[in-house]
């Protein structure tokens, strides 16, 4: 297991979801740089510290019990990792207060440590919500690996918090040191909205929703081919994002029982609001989760999925493969998994390893729509 050895504590840390012989660490040099900087600047037990986007809990676990720690991020897998890593390192579960990014952390905060997220819209919304939450003399510092630190991140910090000074790079990581200054209360540009013609719905998208400015081309390829059923079929929209697949399916299948699940809290928040706008009080389960890990076995007839091909900045098909496995376990015999994916990812061959039948429903030069039958 990879060991983080910062100035505060030596920790055994794991990523989530855990995979055997995990090739990646649950922390990086940017985490170490942030912790070393905090140690050099000094921290007191009375300090209230806010951590933003602490991937798998490396920062929170290092500071747990040393000050008042609040951690906020948009990943439910990140929350699971935090809870697991606190337990495995003998740290109290209540040593860190976790606030999903669909809510606003309540200050005042003396120190704010930010891991710059992949989606700068999420960073912008988080900085907007910091207005009025900083204690007098608060210190704000953001960190990232240099290759994942765009100039625009510094621009946002300066726009919403104050002047920014970049550190020297250490182990290919860099810090942005921010001096808070008085600012007028900012107006948030989020959530955004766009309309679809078929089905005719308007979709609201909070800051960290994938393709929040318009329908992504993968979902666009799948939508015209969604199956329709008249009975009380049990359906899950796995990795639901703003809920478009589940909502479109529900509009065409009035008796279907829908479950929408995503690991992004802002996606779940968006899906709930979009369902309410399109379908009113129709019964539905919408939840943040580790895919279908919590779904009872053989409890679904149909799973719809536009699987992700990255986790944070890491690209790969590990999450998609895991979602296919979860779908198989959750489906009844004869149940179907419908997915859309880039042609080059070879999902057809992967699905054949799990399902007794795989059919190509539709294709265009970039995407294929596949139906896998358990």
CATH (domain of 43) = 3.40.50.150
Enumerate the β-bridge partners of residue 373: 336, 357
Considering the domain architecture, whether residues 224 and 255 belong to the same structural domain is answered as: yes
Considering the domain architecture, whether residues 173 and 202 belong to the same structural domain is answered as: no
Inside any domain, residue 37: yes
Confirm if 99 and 78 have CB atoms less than 8 A apart: no
Considering the domain architecture, whether residues 254 and 296 belong to the same structural domain is answered as: yes
| pLDDT tens by residue, the chain, 374 residues | 566 666 777 888 898 887 766 667 888 999 999 999 999 999 999 999 999 999 999 999 999 999 999 999 999 999 999 999 999 999 999 999 999 999 999 999 999 999 999 999 999 999 999 999 999 999 999 999 999 999 999 999 999 999 999 999 999 999 999 999 999 999 999 999 999 998 999 999 999 998 888 898 999 999 999 998 888 999 999 999 999 999 999 999 999 999 999 999 999 999 999 999 999 999 999 999 999 999 999 999 999 999 886 444 444 567 888 899 999 999 999 999 999 988 888 888 889 999 999 999 999 999 999 999 99
Inside any domain, residue 183: no
What phi and psi, each to the nearest 5 degrees, are found at residue 60?
Answer: -65, -45
Q: Which residues of 164-203 are buried (b: 16+ CB within 10 A; e: fewer)?
A: beeeeeeeebbbbbbebeeeeeeeeebbbeeebeeeebeb
Inside any domain, residue 187: no
Classify residue 122 by its DSSP letter: H
Considering the domain architecture, whether residues 143 and 209 belong to the same structural domain is answered as: no
Inside any domain, residue 29: yes
Considering the domain architecture, whether residues 210 and 311 belong to the same structural domain is answered as: yes
Domain count for the chain: 2
Inside any domain, residue 214: yes
* pLDDT at position 224: 94
Considering the domain architecture, whether residues 284 and 334 belong to the same structural domain is answered as: yes
Q: Which of 143, 178, 213 is the last residue of a domain?
A: 178
What's the rounded Cα separation, in Å, for the pair 206 and 268?
Answer: 9
Inside any domain, residue 186: no
Inside any domain, residue 169: yes
Considering the domain architecture, whether residues 147 and 278 belong to the same structural domain is answered as: no
Considering the domain architecture, whether residues 197 and 171 belong to the same structural domain is answered as: no
Tens-place pLDDT, residues 259-304 = 999 999 999 999 999 999 999 999 999 999 999 999 999 999 999 9
Total residue count of the chain as it appears in this document: 374
Residue partners of 282: CB distance under 8 A and separation at least 6: 250, 275
Please give the residue range of the domain that contains residue 68.
3-178
Considering the domain architecture, whether residues 138 and 199 belong to the same structural domain is answered as: no
């Amino acid at each position: 297991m990879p060991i983080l050895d910062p100035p505060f504590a030596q920790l055994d840390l794991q990523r989530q979801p855990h995979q055997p012989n995990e090739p990646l660490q649950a922390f990086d040099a940017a985490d170490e740089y942030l912790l070393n900087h905090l140690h050099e600047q000094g921290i007191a037990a009375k300090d209230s510290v806010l951590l933003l986007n602490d991937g798998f809990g490396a920062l929170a676990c290092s500071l747990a019990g040393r000050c008042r720690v609040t951690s906020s991020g948009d990943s439910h897998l990140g929350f699971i990792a935090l809870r697991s890593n606190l337990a495995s390192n003998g740290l109290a579960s209540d040593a860190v207060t976790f606030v999903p990014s669909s809510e606003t952390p309540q200050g005042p905060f003396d120190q704010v440590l930010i891991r710059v997220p992949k989606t700068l819209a999420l960073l912008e919304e988080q900085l907007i919500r910091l207005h009025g939450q900083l204690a007098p003399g608060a210190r704000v510092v953001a960190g990232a690996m240099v290759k994942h630190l765009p100039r625009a991140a510094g621009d946002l910090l300066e726009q919403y918090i104050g002047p920014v000074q970049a550190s020297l790079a250490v182990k290919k990581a860099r810090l942005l040191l921010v001096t808070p200054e008085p600012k007028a209360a900012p107006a948030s540009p989020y959530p955004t909205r766009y309309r679809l013609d078929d089905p005719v719905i308007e979709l609201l998208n909070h800051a960290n929703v994938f393709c929040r400015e318009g329908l992504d081309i993968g979902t666009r390829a799948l939508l015209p081919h969604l199956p329709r059923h008249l009975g009380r079929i049990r359906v899950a929209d796995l990795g639901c994002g703003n809920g478009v697949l589940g909502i479109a399916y529900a509009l065409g299948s009035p008796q279907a029982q829908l479950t929408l699940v995503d690991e992004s809290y802002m996606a779940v928040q968006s899906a709930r609001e979009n369902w309410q706008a399109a379908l009113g009080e129709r019964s539905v389960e919408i939840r943040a989760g580790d895919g279908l890990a919590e779904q009872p076995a053989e409890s679904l007839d149909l799973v719809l999925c536009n699987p992700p091909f990255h986790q944070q900045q890491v690209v790969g098909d590990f999450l998609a493969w895991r979602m296919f496995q979860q779908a198989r376990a959750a489906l009844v015999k004869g149940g179907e998994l419908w997915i859309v994916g880039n042609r080059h990812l070879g999902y057809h061959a992967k699905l054949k390893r799990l399902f007794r039948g795989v059919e190509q429903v539709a294709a265009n030069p970039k995407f294929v729509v596949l139906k896998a039958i358990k």
